Structure 1
């Protein structure tokens, strides 16, 4: 384990060659409640790059993995061609897409955060990939606190979601193929993170 600043990581990423057309696509993956959003927000700020959350493109709970065609059509496809991407977020309280459109320019790098963001089919076009992990009990508590719900129906959704993502990560071997494994349980940092792999230099 060792600490690295987000600024240093941003520099390393921007030195990588673009693989999604003219864009360096950076994926931040990991299970729910691991700390992906926290990590991605700070990295996006340090690198001054756009951030896309896969949760914004899910058409509800049952679209956990099948949203990818929508992401490809509305975000990845345009960026790959050097064009501006535009999409509407899924409004979970309305159970529909809507609100103001999100516009993502084909910047030097674009950050994609969410469960399956580093899935097998996009790996050849990733310039950098991160997997954030944390103990299961901590992730469970964070998920309940984040959504502000602890009713029977929500727990059932969450339990099914976690089981599905565990199966996905096992079949996809995501963590074994990323450039960086991050300790999402580490707290008290703002400008840096704790990495689990690769080991810090001597």
Structure 2
């Protein structure tokens, strides 16, 4: 039986760190939404790509985003028989959970942290993010206030 772990939470909350720790413990491969957000305005588009592409039953994968050229890059094929950890803002939606359930077992997490700490972490990781912080934060606010985001099985404060 395939297994899927969906990890959501705002920027800088600790999703990637948690996913990496879980990957080391379970041996599951991590798929990062950061690899395929279509630019700085692409949160909702990437969230939809989880169900449509990453969790496609017969041809799973995603089109990598080339951040330097600001355009789509190469297709990354995923093993249709493998289990995955999928992490990023937009990972835990009812549509994504349903797509994962159609393929196997699903567990969902939301990682949270103080807003100031999140910003400090995110900008330490990527100083170029500073000029886009507000643009991204507004998308996160709309996403988490909208009907797409759902409660995770477990909430973790980092």
TM-score range, shorter chain: 0.7 to 0.9
- CA distance in structure 2 between the partners assigned to 1:38 and 1:86 by the alignment: 22
Partner of 1:38: 17
- CA distance in structure 1 between the partners assigned to 2:141 and 2:92 by the alignment: 14
Question: How far does the alpha carbon of each residue in 1:97-119 deviate from its partner, in whole angstroms, 9 at most, with x for none?
Answer: 325x5332134521110001001
Q: Is the 8 A contact 1:50 1:104 kept in 2?
A: no
- CA distance in structure 2 between the partners assigned to 1:107 and 1:97 by the alignment: 26
Secondary structure in 2 matching 1:66? helix
Deviation larger for 89-98 or 47-56? 89-98
1:40 to partner: Cα distance: 0.6
- CA distance in structure 2 between the partners assigned to 1:142 and 1:180 by the alignment: 22
Secondary structure in 2 matching 1:90? strand
Question: What count of residue pairs does the alignment treat as equivalent?
Answer: 153
TM-score by length of 2: 0.82
1:51 to partner: Cα distance: 1.2
Residues 174 and 75 of structure 1, relative CA distance in 2, 3 Å threshold: closer
Name structure 1 gaps, 5 residues minimum: 1-21, 185-202
1:170 to partner: Cα distance: 2.6
Partner of 1:16: none
> 2:119 aligned to 116, 125, 140, which one?
140
Task: Extract structure 1 runs of 4+ deviating beyond 6 A.
Answer: none
Name structure 2 gaps, 5 residues minimum: none
Q: How does 1:158-177 map to 2 (within 5 A)?
A: 158-172=133-147, 174=149, 177=151
Q: How does 1:142-157 map to 2 (within 5 A)?
A: 142-149=121-128, 154=131, 157=132
- Is 1:86 aligned to 2:65, yes or no? no
Compute the RMSD of aligned alpha carbons: 2.4
Partner of 2:34: 55
TM-score by length of 1: 0.66
